[in-house]
Structure formats: structure tokens, C-alpha cells
């Protein structure tokens, strides 16, 4: 398949449906977006849209190639001393920090990683990923606590000296991390945002303005691209960073992202007219285009390159308005039979038809952790320990008889507990996400049709397209919500921790599972798994028990991958960096514009080739 190779191709290519640039140096990848970012501060954010910005403008110590093999990036080499629990990275000399206008600001050094660590571990900066960092670095948690403001009536934590923290610049180009205990997955962690560097002088210069999403001048750049234009709710333009250490592998020279709140609706038409280079294709449009020989050539199946998992979460700490009866919801959600009636009564396959109309089962699974994420001795994690039986059930878990039996028990128990019927279930969606509204309607009609409107009243409500996570999920303004989670590193704890640290649905407030001291049974299971560091098999099996606890007690309802069906883009998905964790999959580095869109036949041809090449590397 022909590709435009940036900085190598000078011929003018003409296409029947797309206006191509006159020369490769001008190659631009044009997209629409509907959800605006609220921060450029990659050291504090925990939002996927903002990760995508950071991934393209900030380099990490290591990165992954398109086959999932770890590669040097800002670190040229590294070594691990098991006795001292230290990772030592040799930083690449000559890497540069540049301003938004491309002028050089400073060299990248080991001190920049220390500056970032100090910033993240200052509790006053409220980093959403600080817990990930201090969970593995020696002395980091105590230092963080010493910077926090104690709650009323609580004594302050001791203030710790920075020298007690296991992050050191041994010289300008030697960085050392000391771990709190053996962390077999540590190298995979350093591709995450909380291990990104920041220039200390620039950080001090900007002060509270660092990363504020009002100007692209509030951060520096050392990655593949510079955010050269940043006009919130209008346009973002990424320009190739010519000073980047690996600029030869940055093949798309410009990425133009235009804001439109109706992006999900209008992008297919603009794509078909050649005005943009990618589009979301929902099931209805896919069916229409596949029936048209010309348009069928413009789309191909979605590649499941990421390991984002989707699940429906019951909220045990409702913070929504009184109109939705949060106190009544608390009674209902703390009744296992009520939750089980929803779990068994939800026809997940029917709900997934909105995302994948041809073969919904192909992107569904019964666990939070997706299959093929990690394995031991050839056995997939989802087929180990307590998860094995859950996986073996198959994805069609809809059981009308069981759902009605659970309902009968729940009605009796909830009536005795003082609940009123129908129980109002607030279910929000992001209007900027294609098909989510349709899925909510399917779930509402299907569950109410089975369980009865005398039992439940599902209220489908649109949230904001920008700031949805903050306004809805993190604020607890939902009763039942489809959530997602992407792994931060290569260990099962990356999928259990979100339910432990308050990211999702607050299971520590599920009164059924608290011991006499108010400690959640789930927390105890996770703590037991965390404590196992020298036996991966035992560690993984312990984590399966914790994950199975959430599923078997219907505290969540696993769903599957969040995308399927077809997509449209002038990119070869098999050129992209590939890793089931971190932010590698968000990067454009290494990808090139295709002369024409990839169709389905070409997709499977490229996929087969990629599989063969990856298998050969593993031999």
C-alpha cells in the first residue's frame, strides 16, 4: 500500500476524493473533536483527552514500538539492581526543551525528573496520579503526606526532607529511582504521565500558571510535537518538533484538530467530502456505507489496540440532586439482590449492538481486566484463579428467570428497609460520544421492560460534552453509569486500584461488605494481593479474588471494549505504537498519512502481516 513518507516524498499525489498537500513537508492530519481539555498540566491530570495531548508533546524515559517492544526514548539505557531496589537511567544527551514558538529553552536532564517528582509529591498541587507514583517509590508517600493539609481534628503528618525520597539525579544525565519493594512491572510504569519530566526553572517561572489551559505557552515541549496553536473550543494544531531527538520518525508534520460540539454527527459527511482525515462511524452509517461500493472503501474495522475496559458501575455514594432520590438509591444499591436483578436482567449483547452491530460478542468479556493483558506460563490472567469460572460463563449472561427471582427477593427486603418503588436510577451519558445515548435508551427500555416500571425508573440524562468526567463521574452524580478504565502499567492491580482509591463507585461505602471496624472486604482483598511481590503466580491469583469479589457481588457489571464496528481514518493502525498500558497508543509518532483510506481487505492484510512480524520477534 502506498504511503506518504514525510520528509522523503516530494511528488504531488492526487486523489479522487481527498485534497492532498503539494508536498510531504506540508502533510496535515485533520480531525474534529467535541470534548475540550481543561488542563495542560500533565503532572496533575487523570483525563484521557489530556493524556493524549501530553503523549504527543512530552517524551518519557522509554516508549514502545509498534510491536509492543520497549525502546529507549529520553533514557538511552537503564539497569536494575535487585539488592538495592534501584533503577538507574542514563538520560540522552542533546534532548531539548522548547517553547511553543519552537525556540530552545534548555537541555533535558535528570534534574527534570526530580523536579517533576517534587511537584507531584506536593499534596497542595493535587496531582491525580500522585498515588501511582508514591505507591512504588521509597519514601514518597511519607513525603507526600507531610505536605498535605490535615483534616479538622487530625494531627499533621511529619514534614519529611526531600533526601528521604527515592528519586535522585546522580549527575546531569544519570537518574535513579529507589523502589519501596520489588515492582516487577516498574519499567512499564515510566511511560505514564506521573513519570514525565518538567523543567524546574520554567516551573518556578510559571508558578500557578503552569499547565493552565489558557495558553500553549504555559508548558514546555520535548516530544514529537509542539502545540503550536491552542484556541479552546476552536482549534488545536500540533506542529512537528524539529528539535526532537527522534524527529526523523515523526512522519506527519501537522495535526489539525478543530472543535465542533457535533463532531460525532457531522464527521462522516466531512470525511466523505475529503475535508477531514478521520471520522467516527456508528453502526447505522457503517451499514449504509458498506452497501455503497465507493464508500465501503473508505472504512475498515476498528483495531482493538488499546486495553480500555468498559463496565457499568453502581454508585454507592450518590451526590445527585434530591429529585432523583439519592437516599432511596442508597437503600436500594446496598441490597445485593437488587443489584443482581439488574446484573442478570441486563442483556449486554443487545446493548453492545450499538457499538458492534455485526458481532457484539467479539468485543465483550466478563471481567474488568481484558483478556491478553498479562499471563503467567501461557495462562491468561482472566482464566486464572477466581476469574476462571467467570470467564467460562460466556458473554451472554442475560438470565430472565434469575433476574425476576432476584427482583422478588429485593422487593421484600427493600420494602422492609423502608425503600419506595419504583427506584429511580439516574443514568447519564456524554453527548459527545457517538452512540452512547442510543445505548442508554436500549438499556432503559430493555431493563424496564423485563423488571417493570413499578420496580425501577431509569432516567437517561445527557451530561456535558466537555468536563463530563469531572461533572458527572468524579462528582458522583449518577446511580448507574457506563465507565471505562485504561491500564497504567503491566500488572493486574492497575484494574483493581480504581475501585480502591475512590476513582469509581466508592465500594468502601457498600455497607453490606464492611467489617466491625468499617473496613471494606474488597480493600482487604486488594491489600493482601498487593503484599505479594516475590511470586507472580500467587500475586495474580490473589488479584483475581479481589476482582471476582466486585463481579460476583454485582458491584459492577463488566461489558467489554468500548469500540468496535468500523472506523474511518487515513492512518495505518498497525504503524502506531502498541502497548496495553500507559499512553503509547495516543502517540502519532511513527505513523504516516496513507495515500488513500484503508479498506477492510487491506486492514486484514495489514493485520496478518503485523501478527507475523510480531510473532517472529518473539521467537
Percent of the chain with pLDDT over 70: 95
CB 457 within 8 A of CB 419: no
Question: What confidence score (pLDDT) does residue 19 get?
Answer: 37
What is the chain's mean pLDDT, rounded? 91
Instruction: Work out the number of other CB atoms within 10 angstroms of the CB of residue 587.
Output: 22
Residue 23: what pLDDT?
32
> Which residues are CB-contacts of 580 (< 8 A; sequence separation ≥ 6)?
68, 306, 307, 370, 372, 373, 487, 490
Strand 556-560, strand 566-569: pairing? unpaired
Most confident of 24-38, 522-536, 545-559: 545-559
Is-contact 496 529, C-beta < 8 A?
yes
SS3 457: strand
Per-residue pLDDT, 529: 94
Instruction: Say whether the peptide bond before residue 422 is cis (omega within 30 degrees of 0).
Output: yes
Other beta carbons within 10 Å of 475: 12
Nearest alpha carbon to residue 570 among 261, 282, 293, 251: 251
Q: What pLDDT does residue 4 have?
A: 31
CATH 3.90.76.10 residue ranges for the chain: 48-219
Asked if 363 and 564 count as a contact pair (C-beta separation under 8 A), the reply is: yes
CA 429 to the chain's CA centroid: 17
pLDDT digits (tens, 9 = 90+) for 48-95: 889 999 999 999 999 999 998 999 999 999 999 999 999 999 999 999
Measure the CA–CA gap between 87 and 62, rounded to whole angstroms: 13
What are residue 167's phi and psi, to 5 degrees? -130, 115
Angle between helices 400-417 and 436-451 (to 10 degrees): 80
Question: Which pairing describes strands 28-33 and 254-259: parallel, antiparallel, or unpaired?
Answer: parallel
Query: What pLDDT sits at residue 284?
Result: 84
Q: Mean pLDDT throughout 183-202?
A: 94
- Write down the residue that cell numbers 476482582 correspond to: 547
Dist. CA 541–CA 184, nearest whole Å: 16
pLDDT tens digit sequence for 339-364? 999 999 999 999 999 888 888 998 89
Question: 290, 447 in Cβ contact below 8 A?
Answer: no
Architecture of the domain defined by 48-219: Alpha-Beta Complex (3.90)
Cβ burial of 423 (10 Å; 0-12, 13-18, 19+) is buried
User: How many beta carbons lie within 10 A of that of residue 92, not counting itself?
Assistant: 18
Render pLDDT for 482-516 as a digit per residue (tens, 0 to 9): 999 888 888 999 999 889 877 788 888 899 999 99
C-alpha grid cell for residue 216?
A: 500553549
pLDDT tens-digit profile of 105-162? 999 999 999 999 999 999 999 999 999 999 999 999 999 999 999 888 889 999 999 9
DSSP one-letter string for 513-557: GB-TTS-BHHHHHHHHHHT--S-HHHHHHHHHHHHHHHHHTTSEE
**Domain(s) of CATH 3.10.105.10: residues in the chain:** 309-560
CA distances to 94, 110, 176 from 171, in Å: 15, 7, 10
**Domain 309-560: what homologous superfamily?**
Dipeptide-binding Protein; Domain 3 (3.10.105.10)
Q: Which residue has the cell 436500594?
A: 332
- pLDDT-derived band at 581, boundaries 50, 70, 90: confident
Angstrom CA distances, 532 to 188, 541, 547, stand at 19, 10, 16
Q: pLDDT band at residue 561, thresholds of 50, 70 and 90?
A: confident
Report the relative pairing of strands 556-560 and 379-380 from DSSP bridges: unpaired
The grid coordinates of residue 210 equal: 503552569
DSSP alpha helices (H): ranges in 321-452? 326-333, 336-345, 348-352, 388-392, 400-417, 436-451
Confidence (pLDDT) at 123: 97
CB 45 within 8 A of CB 193: yes
**Residue 26 banded pLDDT, cuts 50, 70, 90:** low
CB 135 within 8 A of CB 494: no
Q: What does the alpha-carbon distance between residue 477 and residue 474 come to, in Å, rounded to a whole number?
A: 8
Confidence bin at 305 (pLDDT 50/70/90)? low
SS3 359: coil
**Cα distance between the two ends of the chain:** 27
Whether the pTM exceeds 0.85: the reply is no
Q: Please tell me the distance from the alpha carbon of residue 146 to that of residue 136, in angstroms, as a whole number.
A: 17
DSSP string, 25-41: GG-EEEEEE-S--SB--
Q: CA-to-CA distance for 579 and 367, rounded, in angstroms?
A: 20
CA pair distance 218, 235, nearest whole angstrom: 17
CA neighbor of 286 nearest in space, from 211, 355, 332, 187 = 355
Contact partners, residue 207, CB within 8 Å, separation at least 6: none
According to DSSP, residue 62 is labeled E
d(CA 441, CA 496): 29
Amino acid at each position: 500500500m502506498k504511503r506518504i513518507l514525510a520528509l522523503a516524498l516530494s511528488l504531488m499525489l492526487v486523489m479522487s476524493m481527498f485534497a492532498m498537500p503539494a508536498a510531504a513537508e506540508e502533510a496535515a492530519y485533520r480531525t474534529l473533536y467535541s470534548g475540550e481539555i481543561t488542563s495542560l498540566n500533565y503532572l496533575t491530570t487523570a483525563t484521557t483527552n489530556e493524556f493524549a495531548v501530553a503523549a504527543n508533546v512530552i517524551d518519557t524515559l522509554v516508549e514502545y514500538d509498534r510491536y509492543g517492544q520497549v525502546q529507549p526514548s529520553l533514557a538511552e539505557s537503564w539497569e536494575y539492581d535487585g539488592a538495592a531496589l534501584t533503577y538507574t537511567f542514563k538520560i540522552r544527551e542533546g534532548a531539548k526543551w522548547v517553547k511553543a514558538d519552537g525556540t530552545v529553552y534548555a537541555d533535558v536532564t535528570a534534574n527534570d525528573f526530580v523536579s517533576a517528582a517534587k511537584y507531584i509529591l506536593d499534596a497542595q498541587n493535587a496531582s491525580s496520579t500522585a498515588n501511582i507514583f508514591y505507591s512504588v517509590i521509597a519514601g514518597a508517600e511519607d513525603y507526600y503526606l507531610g505536605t498535605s493539609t490535615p483534616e479538622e481534628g487530625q494531627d499533621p503528618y511529619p514534614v519529611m526532607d526531600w533526601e528521604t525520597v527515592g528519586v535522585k539525579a546522580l549527575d546531569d544525565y544519570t537518574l535513579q529511582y529507589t523502589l519501596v519493594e520489588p515492582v516487577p512491572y516498574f519499567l512499564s510504569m515510566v511511560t505514564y504521565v506521573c513519570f514525565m519530566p518538567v523543567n524546574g526553572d520554567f516551573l518556578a517561572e510559571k508558578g500557578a500558571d503552569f499547565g493552565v489551559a489558557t495558553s500553549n505557552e504555559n508548558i514546555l515541549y520535548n516530544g514529537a510535537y509542539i502545540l503550536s496553536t491552542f484556541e479552546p473550543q476552536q482549534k488545536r494544531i500540533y506542529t512537528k518538533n524539529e528539535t526532537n531527538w527522534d524527529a526523523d520518525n515523526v512522519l506527519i508534520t501537522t495535526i489539525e484538530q478543530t472543535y465542533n460540539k457535533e463532531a460525532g454527527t457531522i464527521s462522516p459527511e466531512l470525511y466523505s467530502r475529503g475535508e477531514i482525515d478521520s471520522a467516527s462511524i456508528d453502526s447505522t452509517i457503517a451499514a449504509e456505507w458498506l452497501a455503497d461500493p465507493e464508500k465501503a472503501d473508505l472504512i475498515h474495522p476498528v483495531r482493538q489496540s488499546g486495553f480500555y475496559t468498559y463496565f457499568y458501575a453502581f454508585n454507592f455514594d450518590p451526590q445527585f440532586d434530591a429529585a432523583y432520590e439519592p437516599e432511596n438509591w442508597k437503600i436500594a444499591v446496598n441490597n445485593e439482590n437488587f443489584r443482581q436483578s439488574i446484573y442478570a436482567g441486563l442483556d449486554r449483547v443487545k446493548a453492545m449492538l450499538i457499538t458492534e452491530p455485526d458481532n457484539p460478542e467479539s468485543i465483550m468479556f466478563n471481567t474488568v481486566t481484558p483478556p491478553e493483558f498479562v499471563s503467567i506460563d501461557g495462562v491468561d490472567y482472566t482464566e486464572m484463579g477466581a476469574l476462571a469460572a467467570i470467564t467460562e460463563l460466556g458473554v451472554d449472561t442475560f438470565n430472565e428467570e434469575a433476574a425476576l427471582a432476584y427482583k422478588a427477593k429485593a422487593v421484600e427486603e427493600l420494602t422492609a428497609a423502608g425503600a419506595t418503588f419504583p427506584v429511580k436510577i439516574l443514568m447519564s451519558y456524554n453527548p459527545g460520544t457517538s452512540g452512547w445515548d442510543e445505548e442508554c435508551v436500549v438499556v432503559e427500555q430493555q431493563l424496564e421492560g423485563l423488571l417493570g416500571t413499578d420496580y425501577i425508573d431509569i432516567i437517561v440524562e445527557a451530561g456535558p460534552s466537555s468536563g463530563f468526567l469531572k461533572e458527572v463521574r468524579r462528582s458522583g452524580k449518577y446511580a448507574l453509569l457506563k465507565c471505562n478504565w485504561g491500564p497504567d502499567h503491566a500488572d493486574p492491580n492497575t484494574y483493581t486500584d480504581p475501585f480502591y482509591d475512590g476513582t469509581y463507585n466508592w465500594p468502601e461505602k457498600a455497607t453490606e461488605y464492611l467489617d466491625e471496624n468499617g473496613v471494606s472486604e474488597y480493600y482487604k482483598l486488594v491489600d493482601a494481593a498487593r503484599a505479594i511481590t516475590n511470586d507472580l503466580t500467587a500475586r495474580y491469583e490473589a488479584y483475581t479474588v479481589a476482582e471476582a469479589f466486585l463481579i460476583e457481588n454485582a458491584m459492577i457489571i463488566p461489558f467489554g471494549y468500548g469500540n468496535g464496528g468500523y472506523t474511518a481514518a487515513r492512518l495505518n493502525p498497525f504503524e502506531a505504537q502498541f502497548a496495553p498500558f500507559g499512553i503509547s497508543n495516543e502517540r502519532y509518532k511513527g505513523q504516516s498519512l496513507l495515500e488513500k483510506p484503508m479498506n477492510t481487505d487491506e486492514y486484514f492484510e495489514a493485520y496478518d502481516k503485523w501478527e507475523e512480524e510480531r510473532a517472529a520477534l518473539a521467537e
